[in-house]
Structure 1
Amino acid sequence: MLLVGVSVLAFYSLLSYGSYVLLVTLWRLRPDPVTAGLVVGATTVLFGYASFRVGTRRLLSRLDARELPRTEYPGVYGILDGLAAEMDLDAPRILVTRLSVPNAMALDTAGRDAVVLDASLFRLLDREEFAGLLAHELAHLESKDSLVQTLAFTALQTAVGFVSLLVAPPVFLVTGLALAAAWVRGDPASWPRTLPGRVRARIEAAVSALMLGITLLARAHSRRREFAADDRAAEVTGRPVALARALRKIERTADPQFGLLSPLWVYGEVESEEERALSDLFSTHPRTEDRVERLRSRADSGRTEIRVR
């Protein structure tokens, strides 16, 4: 036991020393702050963009979507062209697939953008509702929401990576001490309960809390962008209630077990208000009722303004 404990301590001490040497070397080789910032920023953007493009291609391949023929569906493309012209966008492709729930999503692909629609939406929604839904997705393309969110999340992950690198030497050292102490006293499984083990747990908890905060920040930004896309769709179509009806219809037919990708909103039942509030924090989309209420309030405000005039 003593021999194993000493060997484990020696191994983790080497890891700690190696990570320390790496940090010192990086610090000594550091360029001036401006150059370092530019290099880190450019690298982050490059990897974030590559991740975004690869993820989009993989998603498209999993969806097995087909482009809607323009000659066979002139009405659909008439709505699309009108909205695109109003928003000063190049009309994206319309791809149709069959999903487990009615859903729509905007994909900022390399080259020409695309809007993916579940085939059931053509039966579920009337013309005004379909236009509102399509305008919502075009609003995401207009503001490059997917790309911006991916780049922002990549930048935040890079920051967490630097923090993890900074704490690597003490983490390796306390891990070795905890394992060595547990082996020496003849109870290897007790290493998390040793003093070094508890120190390591605190360091890991701090890094995990940082990651959790980043995740919550990214999800909150995503929810704000959904509200913004709703507002933009209502502005372009002039029919906020139509989009609200579309959201309600989709919600009523949604399957809460859908898990391939984030639907137009997040839907699911929870047992208590506390659980529901926690679910909202991690949701990428606001509650449907909140979005509908905002859209109806916008419509009521518009009618009031017309009467005053």
Structure 2
Amino acid sequence: MSRLAFRAAAAVVGVALLAAYLAAALFVADLLRAVWAARPNLPVLLALVAAGALGSAYLSYRLGTAQVLANLEGDRVPRKRAPDLHRRIDALTARMDVARPELYITDARAPNAFAVGGGGDGGALVIDRSLFRLLSPREVEAILAHELAHLEGNDGFAIAMADGIGRSLVGIATVATLPALLALSGLAAASAWIRGRPRDRSGPFARLHQALAGGLFAGFVLATLVSRSRSRKREFAADDRAAEVTGDPVALARALRRIERATEPTWPFAPFSTHKRTDEAAERWLSTHPSTDERVERLRETAESQGPTRRIPAGPSQATVGRGRSRR
């Protein structure tokens, strides 16, 4: 095919693409205009949007909680099977403003404990069996208090709602800008074809499309960062509450160190594993948990403010251990 024939064919393709994208953009714009024209007054509209965002976040939270419990590789443990553990939980819940949760024991062979649910239903407390071999009774009690503090503060619900609302707002912004995204995408593609460079996306329309899409992505990232920041703050708050309830911040600090060491991979290629210790700022910002170093240091300060305490185990800076990622 001669160069002139190729340019003519490319121009035809470009015009066809432009027509298709613009038609789609106009259809979406007309649909959004129709929805906007049928809107109620502003207060009612804002209330409906808020209710929709909250409702979708709540539904996601409830379904997620149910799925976590359904997928557990373990069973609910009645009182008669673990009377001492149940007595410890009873004693802790009596000191806290929390309904007594259901107890589940798993056999994942990874030292871990986490709480799901909360609020009026009491939630559930999930503990891996390996924790009882790894930790002393006082350290187990400290971990239990930490997880009960999450249920007391209904942290899972609060974080899920904040995350869901942020994502809903980004979704609304994406729908509102969809006609512009389609039009710019069509203009960018048509411009490239008409210029005889189908793969070239360096034109002004492509840059505008990338800027708009980048802004939406930045909104999504910001919503995620806000949610993760809140999650890390709730971890600190749960540590503080556990130290207050048990009166033994050292026990919680030791438990965190023991779990950290037990979850650090020992195989030769561990530096390439997902459990490696990292100083990357982006990974810290996206983490749901603060580093063990930060948590232990805060607990150390709490212990020192209470007077003479037992020694808290050294962290990775003083010992050859790495940072784990168990949920606790």
TM over 0.5: yes
Which one of the candidate residues 22, 36, 39 is aligned to 1:30?
A: 39
Kindly provide the CA deviation profile for residues 32-84 of structure 1, in whole angstroms up to 9, marking residues without a partner as x.
22211221121112111111111122222322221123113211111000001
Preserved contact between residue 99 and residue 121 of structure 2 (Cα < 8 Å): no
Which one of the candidate residues 243, 250, 253 is aligned to 2:252?
A: 243
User: Which residue in the other structure is 1:161 paired with?
Assistant: 171
User: Which residue in the other structure is 2:218 paired with?
Assistant: 209
Q: Aligned in 2, Cα 1:100/1:37: closer, same or farther, shift over 3 Å? A: farther
Question: What pairs up with 1:205-284 in 2 under 5 angstroms?
Answer: 205-255=214-264, 268-270=276-278, 273=279, 275=280, 277-284=281-288
Kindly provide the CA deviation profile for residues 233-280 of structure 1, in whole angstroms up to 9, marking residues without a partner as x.
1111111111111001000001469xxxxxxxx95323xx4x2x2221
Give the aligned residue type for 1:227. F
Kindly provide the CA deviation profile for residues 160-206 of structure 1, in whole angstroms up to 9, marking residues without a partner as x.
1121122212211111111112222333222x222211111111111
Which one of the candidate residues 42, 60, 81 is aligned to 1:51?
A: 60
- Verify: 1:64 aligned to 2:73, yes or no: yes
Distance in 1 (alpha carbons) for counterparts of 2:245 and 2:60: 32
Unaligned ranges ≥5, structure 2: 1-9, 267-273, 309-328
Distance in 2 (alpha carbons) for counterparts of 1:36 and 1:256: 52
Q: Aligned in 2, Cα 1:256/1:208: closer, same or farther, shift over 3 Å? A: farther
Which one of the candidate residues 293, 300, 306 is aligned to 2:304?
A: 300
Kindly provide the CA deviation profile for residues 98-132 of structure 1, in whole angstroms up to 9, marking residues without a partner as x.
22521111010794511111110011111111111
Higher helix fraction (1 or 2): 1
Q: Aligned in 2, Cα 1:171/1:100: closer, same or farther, shift over 3 Å? A: farther
Question: What pairs up with 1:180-195 in 2 under 5 angstroms?
Answer: 180-190=190-200, 192-195=201-204
Distance in 1 (alpha carbons) for counterparts of 2:72 and 2:106: 7
Distance in 1 (alpha carbons) for counterparts of 2:75 and 2:15: 62
User: Which residue in the other structure is 2:313 paired with?
Assistant: none
Which one of the candidate residues 290, 297, 301 is aligned to 2:294?
A: 290
Q: Aligned in 2, Cα 1:135/1:267: closer, same or farther, shift over 3 Å? A: farther
- Normalising to structure 1: TM-score of the pair? 0.89
User: Which residue in the other structure is 1:84 paired with?
Assistant: 93
Give the aligned residue type for 1:214. A
Which one of the candidate residues 158, 161, 170 is aligned to 1:151?
A: 161
Distance in 2 (alpha carbons) for counterparts of 1:187 and 1:102: 56
Matched length: 291
Preserved contact between residue 219 and residue 284 of structure 1 (Cα < 8 Å): yes
Which one of the candidate residues 142, 146, 159 is aligned to 1:136?
A: 146
Preserved contact between residue 100 and residue 255 of structure 1 (Cα < 8 Å): no
Give the aligned residue type for 1:79. R
Distance in 1 (alpha carbons) for counterparts of 2:22 and 2:282: 40
Regions of 4+ moved over 6 Å: none
- Normalising to structure 2: TM-score of the pair? 0.84
Preserved contact between residue 98 and residue 122 of structure 2 (Cα < 8 Å): no
Preserved contact between residue 139 and residue 252 of structure 2 (Cα < 8 Å): yes
Preserved contact between residue 251 and residue 267 of structure 1 (Cα < 8 Å): no
- Identity over the aligned pairs, expressed in percent? 40
- Verify: 1:19 aligned to 2:23, yes or no: no
Distance in 2 (alpha carbons) for counterparts of 1:88 and 1:239: 19
User: Which residue in the other structure is 1:262 paired with?
Assistant: none
